[in-house]
Structure 1
Amino acid sequence: MDAQSKSFLYQYLNNASPTGFESSGQQIWLDYLKPYTDTYFTDVYGTAVAVVNPEAKYKVVIEAHADEIAWFVSYISDKGYVYLKRNGGSDALIAPSKRVNIFTKKGIVKGVFGWPAIHVRDIAKDEAPKINNIFLDLGCESKQEVLDLGVHVGCVAVFDDELTELNNKFWVGRALDNRMGGFMIAEVARRLKENNVKLDYGLYIVNSVQEEIGLRGAEMIAARIKPDVAIITDVCHDTLSPMYKPVEQGEQACGRGPVLSYGPAVQNNLLDMIIDAAEQNNIPFQRMAASRSTGTDTDAFAYSSGGIASALISLPLKYMHTTVETVHKDDVENVIQLIYNTLLSLKAGHDFRYIK
């Protein structure tokens, strides 16, 4: 990874982009992509799309989602403690002792998730952190003091953690799900431009909003673009890390390459093209069965606009929806290479139908 890519990665990953409030991260992402694409557009809820060959009739999407889990302020007590609701799949169990940034019209307000000490709790009846008992301490002694800081019901709070490296092999941080995907598709666009690749179709590099609350951004943008093909990248669980059940959840692990999903939403002819690209370019990959749905933006694209040939390339990840989400550097590079080489093998007008 060169210095330019690494600088973008850190700037993009360290920026907060909670669901419904993704615009600052989207601007960072678009600014990076502008030199490598022909044009761009955004929709009313903030999904960002950079385009190569916008005049082309045959349209191919590569997509990730931009949003991260967070919290909404929902109640402020008379003593100045702040209670919350989830914004996406936030985990109350990991919250105590974490620092947060609360975003207000006056700027960022710092807070901490407080929790009583172990020796003052009744261990036999010890209650786990839950959404109805975790709270933020902003250093205020009254509700009015909280309000004076600019914090009100509806403000969004994000864990205050940044991207780091682990043993020079892994990236670690919050929101790798799925801003690492946004990074990877941006790198694909950069490499196409720098290698002077001339595509004979329109390429739409899509960074969707609001995936964490039900694939909403992808639903909106798929209906607008109406692509012929969609290749989605997201994350999946490293099931060889402790406390997973590979017999039930499949066997996927960091460091073994991108994970390719099988399931009704995945168009098998497109999947075969991706597998061919992997095998022809010696890119390691893993397989996963997704059952009824993938749970990713793949589902939104596949079933939009009369049906779009869609497939999912996942990045294996440890500790999803924590502040120490962990991915292997080699997997990041191999996802980029797999998407890149699949795009090289795809030609305008390709008909993915099973029966012709």
Structure 2
Amino acid sequence: MDKKSKSFLEKYLNNASPTGFESSGQEIWLDYVKPYIDEYFTDTYGTVVGVINPSADYKVVIEAHADEISWFVNYINDDGYIYVQRNGGSDHQIAPSKRVNIHTDNGIVKGVFGWPAIHVRSKENEEKPTLKNIIVDVGCESKEEVEKLGIHVGSVMTFDDELLELNKNYWAGRALDNRMGGFMIAEVARRLKENGKQLPFGLYIVNAVQEEVGLRGAQMIAQRIKPDLAIVTDVCHETTSPLYDRIQSGLQKAGKGPVLTYGPAVHNNVLKLIIEAAEKAKIPFQRAAASRATGTDTDAFAYSNEGVASALISLPLKYMHTTVETVHKDDVENVIKLIYEFLLKVKNGQDFRYIK
């Protein structure tokens, strides 16, 4: 990874982009991809789309989602303690002792998730963290004092954690799900431009919002673009670290390559072409199976309009929905390579139908 890519990755990942409040991160992403695209557009809720060859009739999407899990202020009691509600799949069990940034019109207000000391907790029937008992302390002694800081019900907060390198081979931090995907599709656009590759179709590089609350951004933008083909990248569970059930979740290991998913929303002919691209370019890959839905924006694209040939290329991720989400650098590079090589194999007007 060169200095330019690393600088973008760190700036983009360290920025907060909670679901529904993604605009600052989207601006960072757009500034990076602008030199590599012909034009861009945005939609009402903040999804950003960079376009190469916008006049082409055949439309191919590569997509990631831009939002991260977070918390909403739900209730402020008379003593100034803040109770929260999830914004996306935030984990109440990891919250105690974490620092948070509360986003207000007056700027960031710092807070902490407080928790009683081990000395005073009952050892026989120890209470565990739940949404009913975790609280945020911002150093105030009354509700009025909290409100004077600009905090109100509906204020959004994110964990105060940044990207770090682990032993040279890994990236760790919050929101790798799935802004690492946004980084990867941006790098695909950069490589196409810098390598002088001319695609025979229109390429739509989509950084969608609101995935964490039900694939909402992808649903909206799929209806607008009406693509012929969609390749979605997201994260999947890395299952070799302790406490994962491989019988239930399958075997996906960090450093062993992108994960290709089989499932109803994944078009088999598209998947076959991805595998051919991987084998030709000697890119390692792994396989996974999805029961019913993939749980990613793949589902939104596949079942949009009259049906869009879609596939999912996943990045193995340790410790999903924590502040220490961890990925192997080789996997990041190989996802970028695989999407790039796949695009070079797609023909203008390619028909992926099973029966013609």
TM norm structure 2? 1.00
Shift of 1:149: 0.3
User: Secondary structure of 1:123's partner?
Assistant: coil
Paired residues for 1:109-188 under 5 Å: 109-188=109-188
The percent identity for this pair of structures is 74
Residue 81 in structure 1 maps to residue 77 in structure 2: no
Q: Tell me the equivalent position of 2:280.
A: 280
User: Secondary structure of 1:125's partner?
Assistant: coil
Paired residues for 1:95-114 under 5 Å: 95-114=95-114
Residue 317 in structure 1 maps to residue 317 in structure 2: yes
Opposite residue 148 of structure 2, the aligned amino acid is D
Q: Tell me the equivalent position of 1:8.
A: 8
Q: Tell me the equivalent position of 1:222.
A: 222
Count of aligned positions: 356
The CA distance in 2 between the partners of 1:177 and 1:107, in whole Å, is 25
Q: Tell me the equivalent position of 2:55.
A: 55
Q: Tell me the equivalent position of 2:30.
A: 30
The CA distance in 1 between the partners of 2:348 and 2:173, in whole Å, is 38
User: Secondary structure of 1:196's partner?
Assistant: coil
The CA distance in 2 between the partners of 1:265 and 1:241, in whole Å, is 28
Opposite residue 324 of structure 1, the aligned amino acid is V
The CA distance in 1 between the partners of 2:282 and 2:9, in whole Å, is 26
Q: Deviations over 1:248-307 (max 9, x none)?
A: 111101000000000000000000000000000000000000120100000000000100
User: Secondary structure of 1:191's partner?
Assistant: helix
User: Secondary structure of 1:350's partner?
Assistant: coil
Q: Tell me the equivalent position of 1:42.
A: 42
CA RMSD of aligned residues (A): 0.4
The CA distance in 1 between the partners of 2:290 and 2:31, in whole Å, is 35
Paired residues for 1:234-273 under 5 Å: 234-273=234-273
Shift of 1:127: 1.0
Q: Deviations over 1:210-261 (max 9, x none)?
A: 0000000000000100000000000000111110111111110100000000
Structure 2 spans left out of the alignment, 5+ residues: none
The CA distance in 2 between the partners of 1:264 and 1:211, in whole Å, is 19
The CA distance in 2 between the partners of 1:19 and 1:240, in whole Å, is 29
Q: Tell me the equivalent position of 1:201.
A: 201
Q: Deviations over 1:41-73 (max 9, x none)?
A: 000000000000010000000000000000000
Paired residues for 1:327-338 under 5 Å: 327-338=327-338
Opposite residue 187 of structure 2, the aligned amino acid is E
Q: Deviations over 1:2-24 (max 9, x none)?
A: 00000000000000000000000
Opposite residue 289 of structure 2, the aligned amino acid is A
